[in-house]
Amino acid sequence: MGDRVQEFGENAAAGIRLGLGLQLRCWRKRVEKGAVAELSPARRRSAGSLTQADVAWLAGVTEGWYRALESGGERPFSDGFLMSVARALRLDREETFALFVGAVGRRPPTADHDRRVDRLEELKGVAHLLGLYEPCPAYLVDHKYDVLAINDTMADWFPWAGRPSANVLRWVLTSRESRSQFADWPAAARTYLGILRYLLAVNPADAHICRLLADVLATDEECRRLWASTFEIIEHCDHCRFLLRLPGRAGEVVGLSTVVMQPALLPGHQVVVMVPDAMAAAQAA
């Protein structure tokens, strides 16, 4: 039975690769040479759609290597090669996703994939939605936790979030303000250090994230101690509970829980809403 299941899986994978080959030919045939400025003048002089040789030239590989992809061959195709093919064939987000899944069984890398999104329009749409979560504070962050949009309650409770270059991780881990606003700051710091550890694991070459860690460890002795003594890796803060002191409430401590949502058209971005949490509030009583 196990052998039959394995054979079925192998046949299904081969079928997907062959189907991708047909799709690649369709994508290639719809691109006219004259519309591709990156082609050499000699290649653009001939009329018609892109050839396999043209796509290989644009992707910077041999014709045989590209032909293996289009014929459904199983090869260790790199992310860089597949992204070059996507650019050469003028693929959109969904088509790029299909290319990667069909060729290597995984999603495109977030950073390159995200460049193909019309981020401005999507950001405007999500920023508008934040207002619907009133009176709960809500905000939008990118993959580095830079704050991109906030609603009015967020601006009232957390004025720092409306400042230029606001970053959630930097504020929580390095500011004096966060230590006074979080009733249990060490617990919050452990959560966000876990998130920072996760970001470094999935984006080890991201200079911004590496610099953020260096700044955090250089700035705060308690963060250095927590970083060395705790080892949690936390993907996001969904359903995390916090005890917070709110501005203008004479030191009253309230319990809040975070709800995290990820917009489908903004890979790597998160909408975070902070909602009242009775259990966290009971802990504060």
Of 137, 157, 142, which Cα lies nearest the Cα of 259? 137
Place of tokens 């009133």: 134
Q: Is 7 a residue whose pLDDT tops 70? A: no
pLDDT digits (tens, 9 = 90+) for 152-202: 999 999 999 999 999 999 999 999 999 999 999 999 999 999 999 999 888
pLDDT over threshold 50, residue 47: yes
Token duo for residue 237: 């803060």
* Whether the Cβ atoms of residue 237 and residue 272 lie closer than 8 Å to each other: yes
Which of 157, 219, 144, 228 is closest to 190 using CA atoms?
228
Burial (CB < 10 A; 0-12, 13-18, 19+), residue 2, is exposed
* Alpha carbon separation from 238 to 108, 235, 261 (Å, rounded): 24, 9, 8
Local confidence band at 126 (pLDDT 50, 70, 90 cut-offs): confident
Residue position matching structure tokens 């001939």: 46
Share of the chain above pLDDT 90, in %: 53
Contact between 195 and 169 (Cβ < 8 Å): yes
Q: Are strands 270-276 and 147-150 parallel, antiparallel or unpaired?
A: unpaired
Give percent of the chain with pLDDT exceeding 70. Answer: 87
**pLDDT band at residue 280 under the 50/70/90 scheme:** low
Task: For the chain, list the domains and their CATH numbers.
Answer: 2-114 (1.10.260.40), 119-284 (3.30.450.180)
What strands lie across the sheet with 147-150, from one edge to the other? 147-150, 138-141, 270-276, 253-261, 241-245
pLDDT at 18: 57
CA 124 distance to own-chain centroid: 18
pLDDT at 21: 83
Task: Determine the residue type at 26.
Answer: C
Q: Tell me the pLDDT tens digit for each residue of 239-276.
A: 999 999 988 777 788 899 999 999 877 888 999 999 99
What pLDDT does residue 142 have?
Answer: 92
* Per-residue pLDDT tens over the stretch 196-223: 999 988 887 788 999 999 999 998 899 9
Confirm whether pTM is higher than 0.75. no
pLDDT at 271: 96
Residue 238: per-residue pLDDT: 93
